[in-house]
Structure 1
Amino acid sequence: MGGGGQKEEAGEPGSGKAAGVYTWEEVQKHRSRRDQWLVVNRKVYNISQWARRHPGGSHVISHYAGEDATEAFTAFHPDQTFVQKFLKPLQIGELAETEPSQDGNKDAAIIQDFKTLRSELEKEGLFRAKPLFYCLHLGHILLLEALAWIMVSYWGTSWTLTLLCAAMLATSQAQAGWLQHDFGHLSVFNKSKWNHLVHKFVIGHLKGAAASWWNHLHFNHHAKPNVLSKDPDVNMSGIFVLGSVQPVEYGIKKIKHLPYNHQHQYFFLLGPPLLIPIIFNLQVLHVMISRRNWVDLIWYLSFYARFFSCYLPLYGFFGSVALIMFVRFLESHWFVWVTQMNHLPMNIDHEKRRDWLTMQLQATCNIDQSFFNDWFSGHLNFQIEHHLFPTMPRHNYHLAAQRVRALCDKHGIPYQKKSLWRGMTDIVSSLKTSGDLWLDAYLHK
């Protein structure tokens, strides 16, 4: 339906003909699984067929069906000129002149101020990476791996040295996890293809995981953080109930897969110990095999070929398997506490269609800066800045933080920052609060 009483035929998807003039009401009708439109910079695109070919995964782009995706588009794509050639054939029209640029609960003043801030940060070079930083980071990962093997090779495989070896390997794995995160977000090289290539090497050969699995999971999280049914990080498959909304819904429906009022206790048994050794490993294998992603599978197998060639002569087959599982066990604790302290205690709710700044700030918080906190968390103690600017190199987050906070203060948006200890304890306390809400609803509503 065209604006101003005009009715025009939309161009067919892939035709490149932009014939239509549309209202938001018309755009929002196209948000089903097989019929999806979205808006970027006031241009309307039909992504129904193309979503399945989207490099970031079909879900992440489908989350914005029927919505204005301009802010997400800007945040995820460092080279927007290159991406435009994929969008152009999908354009079917534009918004009517009488229509606002934003839809839903999005604040135009916040969007404009955030756009200005991003432009200023780009001009100041905060989106340019420092090669030396990443070379040193990769170097200390490789050094830890080499020292761990040299130690047990030359001085023996006693329990003490084996435990020390496992701790060093777990540290190397955790730090490699933060490094692959940088390449996955295209924040190191100017060319996306180089980021993708090195990402496959780091996550595949250094960590034994799959780039495609990580991309599809992690970009969904960034696109709609803490949004139930859209963010996979809060999809706990009925094991945990999170936030203040989901527990009440479960309670009213009398859903009791587990005693959720005790989830803050069984979290220590089911969360940190099992996520990487069991859940992630199974997910990675399933994704690679089901999608026939043989390139990722080769990188994945190269990690285990390297690991077992180093440790089979020292520990034998079963000893080597036990060693890598113990390394994964240690790494899993590190990963879970770091990643959950920024999100789990924050607002978790259904889709509210907020502007980018408001949505990200409601779902994220920061941890105090220190040399240890930066290293320990891979600079994800600046989770707010990372979520607002996912392609920004992490060594520049602290340079943007004060400006982001000033913008939040201007618009009355809470900007939360905690100590490392408080961030971790808030995970447990938030699980207890959610569990109590579930129990109250389960018993009394």
Structure 2
Amino acid sequence: MATPPETEPAIKKYISLQELSHHNKRNDLWISIHGKIYNVTNWANHHPGGDLPLLNLAGQDVTDAFLAYHPITASKYLHNFFTGYYLSDYTVSEVSKDYRKLLTHFSSIGLFEKKGHGVFLTLCFMVFLFCASVYGVFFNDDPFVHLGCGGLMGLFWIQSGWIGHDSGHYQIMKTKGFTRFAQILSGNCLAGISIAWWKWNHNAHHIACNSLDFDPDLQHMPFFVVSNKFFNSITSYFYDRKMNFDGFTRFLVSYQHWTFYPVMCLARLNLFAQSFILLLSKRKVPNRVQELIGLLVFWIWYPLLVSYLPNWSERILFVIASFSVTGIQHVQFCLNHFSSSVYVGHPTSREWVEKQTSGTLDVKCSPSMDWFHGGLQFQVEHHLFPRMPRNHLRTISPYVKELCKKHNVPYNCVSFLKANVLTIQTLRDAALQACDLSNPIPKNLVWEAVNTHG
């Protein structure tokens, strides 16, 4: 049945942006899209992207965010939530106008739909890595081969992470059913990471990019802080708890520039834990049983594979090798945001382009290394166009650079080595301030680090 179009009322009713901002609670959640006001209070519990994106942007004009995350076809369902009100002071900035033109252009030439052979090649690579690792464990007695197999398992998990990341943003297979199968297989079953947890966490990160109190990707206390603002024990609105900067945290943070890489080698343990914490919580989790069964499959085959090794020393080295290699991916996640501009407070949608570009960092690399970075090398492009298949990110990069240049918004791009240097410098600066809180503290440590180092 065709969906009836929205009909324009004979006499339009208006409310101001200030009045709209009062409708920002879970039981009273209004948003504006193209100047029309929608009540999505009841929809929040059914929103495919989870309730956090709606809650974080409630009471605002969210046009750019809506367009970034939804295909054009999603607009036909908005009439179900229309309140009859319009935004009296609805305006569109020049940068938003050009951003929306780019969205329309990319959509008109089919870039959001043309996924190429990237997913197929990645899956083939994953099969090769997994089979090579298992074969080496079962059919070779050389301890060094077993150690290498652990490294191959880590590479396999990295590629699995890219598939999970992509599938959380767009349909990577021909149908939603096959996409869901790929998610559960590559994430839950073969990597031990819940795709439900990943989508919940990652959607919040995109909407609240580099907000210290709303973005979970910056909330790593007691191990790491990227801003002295954490010294004030701010509240995490993602985890719904206060992040206390106590004596123990201060001690760990004081050495964070030394512990960063070692901790990243074990960061996967946190993802294992977070997956179970979500699935065993009281939160509404779609397909909870399916997710748990997928994790159970991982915790059967991986320990069995490790137990097949001849002695405990080789088993431990295999696990360390697999965790350490996949730690490269955890480092990559941090490089794109740790050394970028941060802020405290509620995410906003009216400056969508500015917020997304200032909080991200591109990594310069040759096309031959795209498989290694999995799309994260084009982080600015990805944050502006999250539904864009990764094989097109290099294609749209010149357009994004031109958009940023035209409107004088940040477009930070450095080499992989320089990104590491910036990240360590940011952590070191915060560590030195944690050692001596009596020293004057700059207002924005991370932004200073980026601009100081290029």
Same-fold call, TM > 0.5? yes
Inter-partner Cα distance in structure 1 for 2:358 and 2:214 = 15
Alpha-carbon spacing, 1:83–1:208, altered in 2? closer, same or farther (3 Å): farther
Root-mean-square deviation (CA), in Å? Answer: 2.9
* Matching residue of 2:89: 99
> 1:357-391, CA deviations, whole angstroms, 9 ceiling, x for partnerless residues?
11111011111121453121112111111111111
Correspondent of 1:274 among 249, 266, 271: 266
8 Å CA contact 2:151, 2:322 repeated in 1: no
Q: Find the residue that maps to 1:272 and give its secondary structure.
A: helix
Correspondent of 1:48 among 32, 38, 41: 41
> 1:290-331, CA deviations, whole angstroms, 9 ceiling, x for partnerless residues?
257111111222233343555544458x78974674255224
Correspondent of 1:307 among 302, 308, 326: 302
Alpha-carbon spacing, 1:128–1:319, altered in 2? closer, same or farther (3 Å): farther
Alpha-carbon spacing, 1:432–1:315, altered in 2? closer, same or farther (3 Å): same
* Matching residue of 2:23: 30
The range that moved more, 254-263 or 355-364, is 254-263
> 1:241-263, CA deviations, whole angstroms, 9 ceiling, x for partnerless residues?
2236445788xx98543233432
* Matching residue of 2:292: 297
Correspondent of 1:406 among 395, 402, 417: 402
Deviation at residue 289 of structure 1 after TM alignment: 1.9
8 Å CA contact 2:337, 2:361 repeated in 1: yes
Letter in 2 for 1:111: S
Inter-partner Cα distance in structure 2 for 1:31 and 1:308 = 47
The gaps in structure 2 that reach 5 residues or longer are: 1-6, 235-243, 442-454
Letter in 2 for 1:76: Y
Letter in 2 for 1:240: F
**Superposed counterparts of 1:120-139, under 5 Å:** 120-139=105-124
Provide the identity percentage.
Answer: 25
8 Å CA contact 2:168, 2:199 repeated in 1: yes
Q: Find the residue that maps to 2:411 and give its secondary structure.
A: coil
Deviation at residue 239 of structure 1 after TM alignment: 3.4
8 Å CA contact 1:386, 1:392 repeated in 2: yes
Correspondent of 2:144 among 154, 160, 165: 160
8 Å CA contact 2:306, 2:318 repeated in 1: no
8 Å CA contact 1:186, 1:196 repeated in 2: no
Q: Find the residue that maps to 1:151 and give its secondary structure.
A: helix
Deviation at residue 209 of structure 1 after TM alignment: 1.5
8 Å CA contact 2:146, 2:318 repeated in 1: no
Count of residues paired in the alignment: 416
> 1:394-444, CA deviations, whole angstroms, 9 ceiling, x for partnerless residues?
011011001110111111112111111111121110111223344554456
* Matching residue of 1:59: 52
Deviation at residue 236 of structure 1 after TM alignment: 2.1
8 Å CA contact 1:184, 1:215 repeated in 2: yes
**Normalised TM-score (structure 2):** 0.83
8 Å CA contact 1:31, 1:65 repeated in 2: yes
Residue 265 (structure 1) aligned with residue 258 (structure 2) = yes
Correspondent of 1:426 among 422, 430, 441: 422
> 1:200-252, CA deviations, whole angstroms, 9 ceiling, x for partnerless residues?
222122212211101100011111110121110011234332236445788xx
* Matching residue of 2:240: none
Alpha-carbon spacing, 1:321–1:62, altered in 2? closer, same or farther (3 Å): farther
8 Å CA contact 2:219, 2:225 repeated in 1: no
Alpha-carbon spacing, 1:208–1:46, altered in 2? closer, same or farther (3 Å): same
* Matching residue of 1:5: none
Alpha-carbon spacing, 1:439–1:153, altered in 2? closer, same or farther (3 Å): closer
Q: Find the residue that maps to 1:425 and give its secondary structure.
A: helix
Alpha-carbon spacing, 1:32–1:162, altered in 2? closer, same or farther (3 Å): same
**Superposed counterparts of 1:125-274, under 5 Å:** 125-156=110-141, 158-189=142-173, 191-192=175-176, 194-243=178-227, 245-247=229-231, 256=247, 257-259=249-251, 260-269=253-262, 271-274=263-266
8 Å CA contact 2:250, 2:434 repeated in 1: no
Inter-partner Cα distance in structure 2 for 1:438 and 1:310 = 43
8 Å CA contact 1:343, 1:363 repeated in 2: yes
Q: Find the residue that maps to 1:229 and give its secondary structure.
A: coil
The gaps in structure 1 that reach 5 residues or longer are: 1-15, 103-107
Alpha-carbon spacing, 1:181–1:39, altered in 2? closer, same or farther (3 Å): same
Inter-partner Cα distance in structure 1 for 2:428 and 2:210 = 18
Alpha-carbon spacing, 1:181–1:83, altered in 2? closer, same or farther (3 Å): farther
Q: Find the residue that maps to 2:83 and give its secondary structure.
A: strand
Alpha-carbon spacing, 1:41–1:297, altered in 2? closer, same or farther (3 Å): same
Deviation at residue 101 of structure 1 after TM alignment: 3.5
Alpha-carbon spacing, 1:161–1:320, altered in 2? closer, same or farther (3 Å): closer
**Normalised TM-score (structure 1):** 0.85
